[in-house]
């Protein structure tokens, strides 16, 4: 590292490793160990920083499936960094995983208010609403995600699935998939 005292870099490195594990790009114990080593450096250098608490939350969420410790650290991070949309979104993701869909949707919408150009947040709101069978509103958020980031493929695939679940409409679903092919 260029700066061995750069706490935020260690925190983000830990989160990157945890995400690689969570998303199954490298779902190995070694990936967890790499996340933990970077996290330990962040904790040693800046134990009370919001970035450290956030990284702790992501580690507990993605690598340990310890949702109680994850939410506790997200909340500590948010207290120190109340305008961080990413932390609010992670709280929403965790609530969704726990089946608290109404609270998850509320927090994801709050994160979107903080960062209105986030296609990822729009996509996640759409997914949460689709799970709640609020198909019309889910469609709106998928459309917004697509408008914000036309190359982001996931909103298209979820929107195609939405039409199957909502209306059983294979033609609309197919049209969305064809739109995807033209855009990419």
What pLDDT tens digit does each residue of the chain (184 aa) get? Answer: 568 899 999 999 999 999 999 999 999 999 999 999 999 999 999 999 999 999 999 999 999 999 999 999 999 999 999 999 999 999 999 999 999 999 999 999 999 999 999 999 999 999 999 999 999 999 999 999 999 999 999 999 999 999 999 999 999 999 999 999 888 7
pLDDT of residue 4: 86
CB atoms within 10 A of CB 12: 17
pLDDT of residue 132: 98
The pLDDT value given to residue 3: 85
- pLDDT tens-digit map of 125-171: 999 999 999 999 999 999 999 999 999 999 999 999 999 999 999 99
DSSP string, the chain: ---TT-HHHHHHHHHHHHHHHHTTSS-SHHHHHHHHHHHHHHHHH-TTSHHHHHHHHHHIIIII--HHHHHHHHHHHHHH-TT-HHHHHHHHHHHHHTT-HHHHHHHHHHHHHHSTT-HHHHHHHHHHHHHTT-HHHHHHHHHHHHHH-TT--HHHHHHHHHHHHHH--HHHHHHHHHHHHHH-
Q: Residue 1's pLDDT is what?
A: 58
Residues 173 and 161: beta-carbon distance below 8 Å? yes
Cα angle at 134 between 131 and 136, to 5 degrees? 130
């Amino acid at each position: 590292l260029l700066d061995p005292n750069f706490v935020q870099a260690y925190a983000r490195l830990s989160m990157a490793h945890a995400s690689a594990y969570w998303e199954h790009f490298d779902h190995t114990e070694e990936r967890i160990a790499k996340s933990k080593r970077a996290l330990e450096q962040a904790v040693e250098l800046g134990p009370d920083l919001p970035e450290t608490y956030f990284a702790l939350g992501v580690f507990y969420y993605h690598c340990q499936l310890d949702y109680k410790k994850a939410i506790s650290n997200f909340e500590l991070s948010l207290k120190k960094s109340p305008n961080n949309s990413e932390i609010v979104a992670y709280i929403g993701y965790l609530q969704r995983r726990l089946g608290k869909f109404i609270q998850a949707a509320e927090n994801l919408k709050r994160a979107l208010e903080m960062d209105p150009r986030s296609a990822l947040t729009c996509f996640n709101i759409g997914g949460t609403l689709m799970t709640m069978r609020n198909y019309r509103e889910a469609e709106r958020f998928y459309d917004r995600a697509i408008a914000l980031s036309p190359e982001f493929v996931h909103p298209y695939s979820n929107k195609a699935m939405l039409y199957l679940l909502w209306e059983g409409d294979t033609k609309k679903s197919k049209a969305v998939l064809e739109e995807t092919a033209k855009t990419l």
